[in-house]
Each structure stands twice: as C-alpha cells, then as structure tokens.
C-alpha cells in the first residue's frame, strides 16, 4: 500500500469535487448536530429523572371532616384506621423506603412556608388541610403497588403521586426528543442519498482512471479506497462541525440560559457531551463509509 499515493488521490478527488464535498460536509454536519441534540435531550431527561425521582414521594391524604369522597363517608379518619395504614405501609418494605407522617399542623406550616408571598395563605386554615403519610419508594416506578393497596380504603381521601405530574413534563421533553430524532433521521437519509449520488458522480468522472486501474490489475480495494476515504473524510469533517455545535448548545443554551434560570433542577454535565460526541463521529463515518461502499460496489465492478 502506497500511503502517499493514496493520500494524493484522495486530495485530488476532494478538490475536483469541491462543491459536492461541501454539500456532503454540510448535510452530515446538520444531520449529526440534530442527532446529537436529540441524544442530549435524552441525557437531559434522564438527568432530571434521576434528580426528581429521588425527591418525589407518594402522598396518602387521610380523610378530614367534611371530605366528600365515598371512602370518607365515615367522617374524619380514626386513630385505628391511621395506625392500620401505617402498619400496612411498614409491611411494604423494602419497596417503601421512608414513611413520614404529616399532621394538619405540619401541613399548614409547610403550606405557609411554600406560599408565604401569596395571598392564598389567608384563605387557608389549619383545619382545611388534610393530614397525610408521605412515602418515599425505593423504586419510584412501582407507584401502582402503593396506589392499588391504599386508594379507596376507608379513611383515605386520595393517593397522590408527584411522579405523575413530572411524567407529563418528561413526556413533553420526550416528544421534543422524538421530533429531533425524526428530523435527524430524515436528514441522515438525505445525507446518505447525497453521498450515494456524490460517489456516483465521482466514480463517473474518474472512470478513465478506474478503468485503467482495472486493466493493470489494481485490486478492488485499491480502486475503491480513495473514494471511501474521501467519503469518510468529508463525513469526519461534518461530524467535527456537528460536535462543535453540540458543545455550543451545552455552553450557550444549557450552561448559559437554562441552568441559571432553573436552579431547582439538574442539567446534563460535560460527561454526557463526551459520551455523545464519539457516537456522532462514528455514526457519521460509518454511514458515509457504508453508503460509499455499496454505491461503489455497483459502479466500480471488476
């Protein structure tokens, strides 16, 4: 293998086909940037899940006087009911990780703390807030086990899972990610088509060289290598640009805008970017290489 010869062939090929090469670089960059962005959103969702699922609890609200759900027909919860609920919760360990009882007084205190700047506090009295058990689950996805065991039991007004609220939010993010992934997929298809066409044009414009190569007994590998390297090289440049765009997204959008304004939640760190970048690079090069390989197999036959 003559490395310098192959390198000069690749250089010539890229220069001769400059506009096509640029088109390939740009489409690869755009599609991989979208692909990387969608992976970043996924990493973000999973970072937020880790952060929030750790904090969310299942709340079991107990009946107060005047609650109008059927399970509260017997009036306010009795001490016996409360003890039974507590005992049943204890029996659910280790799924149930922590159990915390919140009395009406504590609920009122927390409420006034949370909404201290809001006029709503004036309309709420200690009596109007329900007492509750706050339960932390070892595995937050197993909410159903708790809900089915306690919902509708006499003395229990309502079983509430904070996760459900969060899930709506995560679904929204998931939807965004799916859309980004879909657009990235379409762009990647466009990229493949463009590479196929570029290779076809390149093979055609160099048919003189390749036909002579065949006649003098150059191996298929040697004939196709410059084309494959050209495609891989253009894809690599596109991937590097896309990775640059991803870094920019992290610096400007996440660290610059989102993180300072939403301090209550976690954001993806650089390790996510470091994990996504090689995936983008490999996807780009592999896609271009495969597209080129299968095109050339058709157009540069022995």
Residues that bind another protein (CB under 8 A): 1-2, 4-5, 208-209, 211-220, 222-223, 302
Which tokens in the block code for residue 58? Answer: 């299942």
- Strand, coil or helix: 217: coil
Indicate the residue among 223 and 242 with the shorter CB distance to another protein.
223
Q: Smallest distance, Å, CB 223 to another protein?
A: 8
As a residue count, the chain comes to 302
Q: Which residues does 41 contact at the CB level (< 8 Å), separation at least 6?
A: 173, 176, 177, 180
Adjacent-strand bridge partners of 96: 137
* C-alpha distances out from residue 92 to 79, 138, 146, 270, Å: 20, 11, 8, 39
Cβ pair 194, 27 in contact under 8 A = yes
Question: Whole-angstrom Cα distance, residue 232 to residue 18?
Answer: 15
Smallest separation (angstroms) from another protein to the CB of 266: 55
- Residue among 5 and 270 whose Cβ is closer to another protein: 5
- 66/294 Cα distance (integer angstroms): 74
Beta carbon nearer to another protein, 1 or 274: 1
Q: How many helices (H) and strands (E) does the chain have?
A: 10, 4
Task: Classify residue 93 by burial, with Cβ atoms within 10 Å: 0-12, 13-18, 19+.
Answer: exposed
Shortest distance in whole angstroms from residue 211 CB to another protein: 7
Phi-psi region of 268 (alpha: psi -120 to 50; beta: other; left: phi over 0): beta
CB of 285 to another protein, least distance (A): 24
- Name beta bridge partners: 227: none
Nearer to another protein, 109 or 220 (CB): 220
Task: Kindly tell me which of 4 and 91 has the beta carbon lying closer to another protein.
Answer: 4
Judged by beta carbon, residue 9 or residue 57, the one nearer another protein is: 9
Quote the least distance from Cβ 212 to another protein, whole Å.
Answer: 6
Beta carbon of residue 15, minimum distance to another protein (angstroms, whole number) = 13
Residue 163 has which token pair? 């996760």
**Is residue 296 within 8 Å of residue 197, measured between CB atoms?**
no
**Closest to another protein by CB, 9 or 131:** 9
User: Minimum CB separation from another protein for residue 22, in Å?
Assistant: 23
């Amino acid at each position: 293998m003559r490395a310098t010869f192959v390198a000069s062939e690749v250089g010539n090929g890229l220069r001769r086909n400059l506009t096509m090469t640029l088109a390939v670089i740009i489409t690869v960059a755009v599609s991989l940037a979208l692909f990387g962005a969608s992976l970043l959103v996924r990493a973000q969702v999973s970072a937020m899940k880790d952060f929030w699922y750790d904090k969310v609890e299942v709340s079991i609200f107990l009946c107060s006087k005047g609650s109008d759900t059927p399970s509260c027909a017997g009036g306010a919860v009795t001490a016996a009911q409360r003890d039974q609920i507590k005992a049943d919760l204890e029996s659910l360990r280790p799924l149930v990780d922590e159990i915390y009882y919140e009395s009406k007084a504590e609920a009122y205190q927390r409420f006034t703390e949370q909404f201290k700047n809001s006029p709503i506090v004036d309309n709420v009295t200690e009596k109007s807030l329900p007492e509750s058990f706050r339960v932390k689950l070892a595995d937050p996805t197993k909410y159903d086990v708790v809900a089915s065991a306690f919902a509708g039991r006499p003395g229990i007004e309502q079983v509430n899972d904070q996760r459900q609220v969060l899930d709506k939010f995560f679904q929204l993010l998931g939807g965004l990610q799916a859309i980004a992934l879909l657009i990235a997929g379409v762009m990647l298809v466009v990229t493949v088509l463009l590479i196929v066409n570029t290779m076809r044009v390149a093979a055609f414009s160099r048919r003189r060289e390749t036909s002579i190569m065949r006649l003098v007994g150059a191996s298929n590998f040697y004939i196709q290598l410059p084309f494959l390297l050209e495609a891989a090289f253009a894809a690599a440049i596109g991937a590097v640009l896309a990775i640059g765009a991803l870094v920019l997204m992290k610096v400007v959008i996440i660290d610059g805008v989102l993180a300072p304004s939403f301090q209550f939640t976690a954001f993806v760190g650089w390790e996510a970017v470091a994990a996504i970048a090689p995936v983008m690079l490999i996807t780009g090069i592999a896609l271009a290489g495969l597209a080129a390989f299968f095109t050339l197999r058709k157009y540069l036959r022995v």
